[in-house]
Amino acid sequence: MKKIAVFTSGGDSPGMNACIRAVVRTGIYHGLDVFGIMYGYDGMIRGEIKKMQSHSVSNILQRGGTILKSARSEGFRTKEGRKKAYDQLVKHGIEGLVAIGGDGTFTGAKLFFEEYGIPTVGCPGTIDNDIFGTDYTIGFDTAVNTALEAIDKIRDTAAAHDRIFFIEVMGRDSGYIGIECGIGGGAELVMVPETKTTVKDVIKSLKGLRKTKTSSIIIVAEGDEAGGAAEIVEKVKAQFKNEDKEFKVTTLGHIQRGGNPTAKDRILGSRTGMAAVEGLMKGESNCMAGVINDMVVYTSFEDCITKDKPLKEEYLRLQEILSI
């Protein structure tokens, strides 16, 4: 293998740049030509591919986002689009790919490999921490710390005014951000997609908490089955309309995606980036490089896509015990 390319796809996450840097410099270290593909699969279709040098990735380790940009590609979902992407790779002589992203990215890479046989190793880039085959995903730790900083500040004003705050964090299908923010932020209740918490449960909990606490923080993952924070609050308020209690909603939104990556995310991005390149050189393909129990492991895209990554029962129990 002489030439490889790296791209980022799907939602951005802090630490992607650290991973890009590791891919480029590991490839150069081993004598490979490394190319960067702009705008993910869309850029691959259009041929937005450029040669990378060591200096191309200087001073990016600490930056959020991705210097290669990202996009969701409808074109790559079609056979015609994938054929165009393959033709562009052939044109540039690219023999292997490093795909940084999540489930959608890996689904595309798996299909592309099955159709054209281009060896691909993925790196887990998503703030949701919902990919099977790795203990943590690139960007998750930063997202949790960003959310926690906001939660701590909201706690101050909640306590000052005896208010109940419902704080919505990201997590359409996964409650990892929610549960870690709940534990780290001392939340009184956490609502995540993996556990069924009804509005009646919330009301019961709040009525119990008011005996010992004058303010409360409720963390709501955006994908909770009871609805978003704003919807839940309206239902809860109706049950407290005769009481002097003030409810507030804060949606943290995309602030969780940005910012300087933590040391943990920089190191994880660097480790998986290096492992992806060296994996390609050793014949690994159609798989993701992750870290489990502090060891680099390779997990097939099939398993990454189809297998669930459940929340730790210990975390759920810890949250419940510490919230009294």
Annotated catalytic sites, by residue?
128
- The neighbour count for residue 87, using CB atoms within 10 Å, is 12
- Amino acid found at 179: I
Q: Do residues 210 and 246 lie in contact, with contact meaning Cβ atoms separated by under 8 Å?
A: no
Which H or E run contains 284?
Answer: none
- The neighbour count for residue 294, using CB atoms within 10 Å, is 7
Distance of alpha carbon 153 from alpha carbon 66, whole angstroms: 28
Distance of alpha carbon 179 from alpha carbon 311, whole angstroms: 8
Q: Do residues 96 and 120 lie in contact, with contact meaning Cβ atoms separated by under 8 Å?
A: yes
Could you tell me if residue 186 is left (phi over 0), alpha (psi between -120 and 50 degrees) or otherwise beta? left
Distance of alpha carbon 261 from alpha carbon 135, whole angstroms: 17
Strand positions, DSSP E, 137-235: 163-169, 189-191, 216-221
Distance of CA 305 to the CA centre of its chain: 14
Q: Do residues 276 and 286 lie in contact, with contact meaning Cβ atoms separated by under 8 Å?
A: no
Q: Do residues 290 and 272 lie in contact, with contact meaning Cβ atoms separated by under 8 Å?
A: yes
Distance of alpha carbon 152 from alpha carbon 160, whole angstroms: 13
Distance of alpha carbon 106 from alpha carbon 100, whole angstroms: 9
Within 162-239, residue ranges assigned H as helices are 176-185, 199-209, 229-237
Distance of alpha carbon 190 from alpha carbon 288, whole angstroms: 31
